[in-house]
Structure 1
Amino acid sequence: MVAPLSAWPWENLGFFKYLLYGPFVAKVLYSRFHDHEDQSHDDGSWCLHLLIICALRGLIHQLWSSYNNMLFLTRNRRILQQAVGFRQIDSEWDWDNFIILQALIASMASYMFPFLENLPLWNAKGFIAVLTLHMAVSEPLYYWVHRFVHGSHYLFTHYHSLHHSSPVPHPFTAGYATFLEHLMLSVVIGIPMLGASVMGYGSISMIYAYVLIFDFLRCLGHCNVEVVPYQIFEAIPFARYLLYTPTYHSLHHTEMGTNFCLFMPLFDALWKTLDGNSWQLQKEISSKLEKHGRVPDFVFLAHVVDVSAALHAPFVFRSFASLPFSTRLFLLPVWPITFSVLLVMWTLSKTFLYSFYQLRGRLHQTWAVPRCGFQYFLPFAREGINKHIEEAILRADKLGVKVISLAALNKNEALNGGGTLFVNKHPNLKVRVVHGNTLTAAVILNDLPKDVDEVFLSGATSKLGRAIALYLCRKRVRVLMLTLSAERFQKIQKEAPVDCQSYLVQVTKYQAARNCKTWIVGKWITPREQSWAPPGTHFHQFVVPPILSFRRDCTYGDLAAMRLPDDVQGLGCCEYTMERGVVHACHAGGVVHLLEGWSHHEVGALDVERIDLVWEAALKHGLKPVSSPNKV
């Protein structure tokens, strides 16, 4: 049975909970477009202030979340090394419920205390009053209520344990609590503001400042990054009792019998609940700015597909990144801002780290080159892109990374020969460079129907196309290879066993596949070119970006991908359009390369003989095909 006041009244409303702001919006609009004869009541300004404050509170939490997830800035000063996983993200999805609750309470307060509607814009005495009341009332009140809740088995189990169920502190965790807890927190935050106003010192600026600073400090405490320099406490020792730090509060989540304060450790010190390791641990973490953190075993070097997809990074919108990417309406207003940021990043041209997870005790990280997909097809951009990929490889080599896997366009044949350029230029690399295309080929081949006897293959002379064609012809499958180059076709055909060469057929037009229902697409095709496929055709593909699903009488496969093992930890973002826990096959190929301990580089042309070997190794380590295997 659910404990009283533990669930939120609007828990089942989902996104429609934001309609609770509707009366505020209506009141503001009404007051702006209608003259009031009776000015004794709220003229809409109070509701307007509430809406502005709610928006600013949400923004503060979002900015702290973005900073917390900017691993390229914060990785060396993270308090807990775990990453936030999907389960925690889903649990904290409605972290902003408390903002709605306190807006409703503030609205009711305006009717109970009409003088709140006529507060002046500024009153310097109000800031002194609200600070005094906070230190004298709110801080000790929160401390004792918080400590009492921890000491009560019933209250902790049915209410406060929800907040502590988040394994990794995050700014959104600050708002993740039961309805009853936020009712009590509303009293804590309301006493100083109401008290100062009752004394005649209240002001609009005081309310804005107190509420926003309150949220700022709550986010600071729940941030998993130590942001307070230890030098401040060494210069002013008493300052450590006036303001807590992320490290200080994180100890409360790991050692729950200590550090109960709201913002001021002074009260923990007075009542002897201060963790003795607080200052030393804070100094150790704060001093790591110039040091390298834990070195990853594996790095996947990704790239941005387009401007909208750049918003799918976890440090932008955590909830959006935790779902497969799709174009949403809310992306349109921020598109110009995103494009401007990308221009700055292109100018700075720094590879950045944006996510990580752990598998079998090994750290896997995703680095990204700040380049959009279209740039890879600009001839003048080729040298610059290769330079940044090379820098990322050398950086990984210097850090001691064991395997670095290149994402789709970062290993483009025309760009760098599938990574061959870097291996040849730096023959003494300790890090293994992997394009992962062997597993990509294996995934595509194992997704084909068992009884297939003919396939149509575009992009037939690419690395993947060549390997797929040679593999299939050995299985006595007829392959219609779309290419205008007879020379390149013949070169591939000669690689096949003599008795299998007849199964490779060169075609130069899409019309040649009008009777073939199995298409393997390795080159982007237009809706007009798709029209030559017969009804019932299934489009397998290894092209970036994926082709448009134009034909309703045909089916379209996703890009080659595999599902990570069940014991993966800390995975909290989806890889582009992939489902949760699913990564592109080239990413998975690098993971397998690491887990198998292979010492060779996987660059350039694919070794057809290794396709089955890599496939079996992937299955052995718990990676699973996204669709049912139908090996030919």
Structure 2
Amino acid sequence: MAAPLYAWPWEILGSCKIAIYGFFLAKALYSRYQEESMKDAWSLHIFIVCMLRLLMYQAWTSYSNMLFFTRNRQIVKKGVDFRQIDKEWDWDNFILLQAIVAGLALYIFPTSATLAVWNQTGITTAIALHVAISEPLFYTIHKSFHGDYLFTNYHSLHHSSPVPQPYTAGHATFLEHLFLTVVIGVPIIGSFAVGHGSIILIYGYVLVFDLLRCLGHSNVEIVPHQLFDLVPFLKYIIYTPTYHSLHHAEMETNYCLFMPLFDALGNTLNTKSWDMHKKNSLDSGKNGRVPDFVFLAHVVDLSSAMHAPFVIRSIASHPYYTRIYLQPFLPVSFAMMLLMWAKSKTFLVSSYNLRDRLHQTWTVPRFGFQYFLPFAAEGINKQIEEAILRADRLGVKVISLAALNKNEALNGGGTLFVQKHPNLKVRVVHGNTLTAAVILNEIKDVTEVFLTGATSKLGRAIALYLCKKGVRVLMLTLSTERFRMIQKEAPADCQKNLIHVTKYQAAQNCKTWIVGKWITPREQSFAPSGTQFHQFVVPPVSPSRRDCTYGNLAAMKLPDDAEGLGCCEYTMERGVVHACHAGGMVHSLEGWTHHEVGAIEVDRIDLVWEAALRHGLKPVSTIINY
């Protein structure tokens, strides 16, 4: 059973708690059109301050997770995993609490006085009260919460987040935030009590308070050490992200709110604070650890672009789907698309560790539809080439190409880059060997399959593999020449298992379809009842038959020891990646030294599959009953 005042009173409301914010807005609007009382004008100020605070924490969190800006400035060099994201889901409870306390205070002590916009004396009074009361009060309370009982029953929740983030600042118990409300309220209430309150004081003090809390929890060192070299006493006036991170690492030190002066006076100052800050500041200009493996992704569309982990962390931690409430922000996504085109640089979007190897996802600043524009091909290939050369310069061992980045018509499945740069040290991998293995291992105990996209890279490998196993493969293609070429690759005694068909009607009695080319609902209608649709087409086929089942795109679940993974790969579930991504990962883990580009080596399919299982990757077979 939880300790008293551990849980939040509105916990039962879940996400519906946001309706409480709406109460303040509704009250202000009612006042504006009905009563025009000063008391209810305060409701509008409370609502606006809450929205600005939410925006402040979101903006700082987005910045903290922009790895393409912050990777060399990070203090705790770990990714924020799903567990931490879930724990901090209700990080904003304290903002709601302080809004309710402010609303109740105004209800109990109503005022009709006209509030000044600016009052210099009030600002000075608030600063004095903050230094004289709020700072030592917070220091004392915070230190008390590190005692055995209070820490075990309350404060340990805050310290359960391994990587400090701006949201971590709000991740604490109800009791702790009651005390914090007092700390933040003293300078404001004190200034009003002596008759020097103002609107600017309320907005300014609260937002600066939040800004400094976000700074301390950001895990990104942005305060230059030269500032303290120039004015040494400043190090006791303002803390840094490094200073606060030391409190999370060595908890019996650095208790202060924002001013290390009180740690110095209380003899709780961590002696490593300034040296570590200087080191982190200096290291910000150096490249950090080189990743062992890079997955080169691309943006699918404007909507999915908002699924990036640095946009909204909580959304990225779940599989992508179109969220109605994000659609108004599509113009922002469009503007970012134009900016990415102008910048023309590959971005680092996520990072995690597996078996002591650093794995990163970079993204080419191109959207899905661009890959189908003939005039865009040269520019896209140039960006992919630059990413490969950059990985080669850094010392990356393997770079794997995502779906459209390895399009056969675009660059021959990566062959273009290997031929152009024969001395590459980085291994270029399309990962399709494992994709083929995943699809083939989903197909059990069949004697006949119908294959669309039959002459593609994956279609060819699947057809050749199955025909060797004695399975009849109905290969749908209009090109007799391409069919003959594939048929000749099969052993002489297996060639009879490859059947050339040109119409969907040829599969009316086949209950196993392998779809490698988009098919319409009408084309799906030719399949008999009970058909299982396997697929490797991008985007996936839309299910239209209620009497059939549909498989998702080939994917594999990462090993359980993957660390720092906190975002989902497009529509995949947590910890699941596309098979081509996993294929590049296996290439890296095995230490293979060949490039995997161009045509799939059919004889390696079983080898790659066994290697994937040996390294702890698990097949994911999701069947959709429409």
* Class of the TM-score when normalised by the shorter of the 2 chains: over 0.9
Q: Is residue 110–residue 117 contact of structure 1 (8 Å, CA) maintained in 2? A: no
**Among residues 149, 157, 160, which one is paired with 1:154 in the alignment?**
149
**2:185 aligned residue:** 190
**2:136 aligned residue:** 140
**2:474 aligned residue:** 480
1:261-315 Cα offsets, whole Å, 9 max, x none, are: 0001111111211111111111111112331101000000011111111111100
Offset at residue 367 of structure 1 (A)? 0.5
**1:516 aligned residue:** 510
Offset at residue 628 of structure 1 (A)? 8.9
**Among residues 117, 121, 126, which one is paired with 2:122 in the alignment?**
126
1:333-367 Cα offsets, whole Å, 9 max, x none, are: 11111011111111111101010110111100000
Q: 2-side partners of 1:25 and 1:290: how far apart?
A: 46
Q: Please say if 1:460 is aligned against 2:454.
A: yes
Q: 1-side partners of 2:130 and 2:363: how far apart?
A: 45
**1:208 aligned residue:** 203
**2:79 aligned residue:** 83
Which residues of 2 match residues 13-162 of structure 1 at below 5 A?
13-35=13-35, 39=37, 42=39, 44-115=40-111, 118-150=114-146, 152-162=147-157
- The one-letter code matched in structure 2 to 1:387 is K
Which residues of 2 match residues 311-322 of structure 1 at below 5 A?
311-322=306-317
Q: 2-side partners of 1:234 and 1:373: how far apart?
A: 49
Q: 1-side partners of 2:189 and 2:513: how far apart?
A: 70
Q: Is residue 130–residue 195 contact of structure 1 (8 Å, CA) maintained in 2? A: yes
Q: 1-side partners of 2:507 and 2:10: how far apart?
A: 55
Q: 2-side partners of 1:539 and 1:31: how far apart?
A: 60
Unaligned runs of 5+ in 2: none
**1:408 aligned residue:** 403
Closer, same or farther: CA 372–259 of 1 in aligned 2, 3 Å: same
Q: Please say if 1:536 is aligned against 2:558.
A: no
Which residues of 2 match residues 430-469 of structure 1 at below 5 A?
430-448=425-443, 450-469=444-463
Q: 2-side partners of 1:99 and 1:528: how far apart?
A: 53
Q: 2-side partners of 1:286 and 1:458: how far apart?
A: 56
Q: Is residue 305–residue 545 contact of structure 1 (8 Å, CA) maintained in 2? A: no
Deviates more, 1:97-106 or 1:539-548: 539-548
Q: Please say if 1:338 is aligned against 2:333.
A: yes
SS of the equivalent of 2:366 reads coil
**1:351 aligned residue:** 346
**1:284 aligned residue:** 279
Deviates more, 1:255-264 or 1:227-236: 227-236
- The one-letter code matched in structure 1 to 2:21 is Y
Offset at residue 616 of structure 1 (A)? 0.4
Offset at residue 534 of structure 1 (A)? 2.1
- The one-letter code matched in structure 2 to 1:498 is A
SS of the equivalent of 1:247 reads helix
SS of the equivalent of 1:371 reads strand
Give the TM-score normalised by the residue count of structure 2. 0.98
Q: Please say if 1:424 is aligned against 2:445.
A: no
Deviates more, 1:501-510 or 1:18-27: 18-27
**2:464 aligned residue:** 470
**1:570 aligned residue:** 564
Q: 2-side partners of 1:117 and 1:214: how far apart?
A: 26
- The one-letter code matched in structure 2 to 1:208 is Y
Closer, same or farther: CA 559–117 of 1 in aligned 2, 3 Å: farther
Unaligned runs of 5+ in 1: none
Q: Is residue 551–residue 621 contact of structure 2 (8 Å, CA) maintained in 1? A: no
**Among residues 196, 217, 220, which one is paired with 1:222 in the alignment?**
217
1:549-593 Cα offsets, whole Å, 9 max, x none, are: 222222221110000011111100000000001000011001111
Offset at residue 208 of structure 1 (A)? 0.4
Q: 2-side partners of 1:248 and 1:117: how far apart?
A: 43
Q: 2-side partners of 1:29 and 1:518: how far apart?
A: 61
Offset at residue 29 of structure 1 (A)? 2.6
- The one-letter code matched in structure 2 to 1:90 is D
**Among residues 162, 166, 169, which one is paired with 1:167 in the alignment?**
162
Offset at residue 116 of structure 1 (A)? 8.0
1:530-553 Cα offsets, whole Å, 9 max, x none, are: 222222222211111112122222
**1:371 aligned residue:** 366
Q: Is residue 110–residue 116 contact of structure 1 (8 Å, CA) maintained in 2? A: no
- The one-letter code matched in structure 2 to 1:289 is S
Q: 2-side partners of 1:8 and 1:556: how far apart?
A: 43
Q: Is residue 457–residue 521 contact of structure 1 (8 Å, CA) maintained in 2? A: yes
Deviates more, 1:165-174 or 1:553-562: 553-562
1:356-410 Cα offsets, whole Å, 9 max, x none, are: 1101111000000011111111100000000010011111111110111000110
**2:541 aligned residue:** 547
Q: Is residue 447–residue 628 contact of structure 1 (8 Å, CA) maintained in 2? A: no
Q: 2-side partners of 1:442 and 1:11: how far apart?
A: 46
Q: Is residue 116–residue 197 contact of structure 1 (8 Å, CA) maintained in 2? A: no
Give the TM-score normalised by the residue count of structure 1. 0.97
RMSD, aligned CA: 1.3
Q: 1-side partners of 2:185 and 2:588: how far apart?
A: 55
**1:271 aligned residue:** 266
- The one-letter code matched in structure 1 to 2:428 is V
Query: Percent identity, aligned pairs only?
Result: 70
Closer, same or farther: CA 116–219 of 1 in aligned 2, 3 Å: farther
Q: Is residue 68–residue 225 contact of structure 1 (8 Å, CA) maintained in 2? A: yes
**1:3 aligned residue:** 3
**Among residues 591, 594, 601, which one is paired with 1:597 in the alignment?**
591
Q: 2-side partners of 1:552 and 1:227: how far apart?
A: 56
- The one-letter code matched in structure 2 to 1:141 is L
User: What number of residue pairs does the alignment pair up?
Assistant: 623
Q: 2-side partners of 1:200 and 1:497: how far apart?
A: 94
Q: Is residue 32–residue 41 contact of structure 2 (8 Å, CA) maintained in 1? A: no
SS of the equivalent of 2:474 reads strand
Q: 2-side partners of 1:408 and 1:137: how far apart?
A: 59
**Among residues 392, 397, 408, which one is paired with 1:397 in the alignment?**
392
Q: 1-side partners of 2:244 and 2:35: how far apart?
A: 50
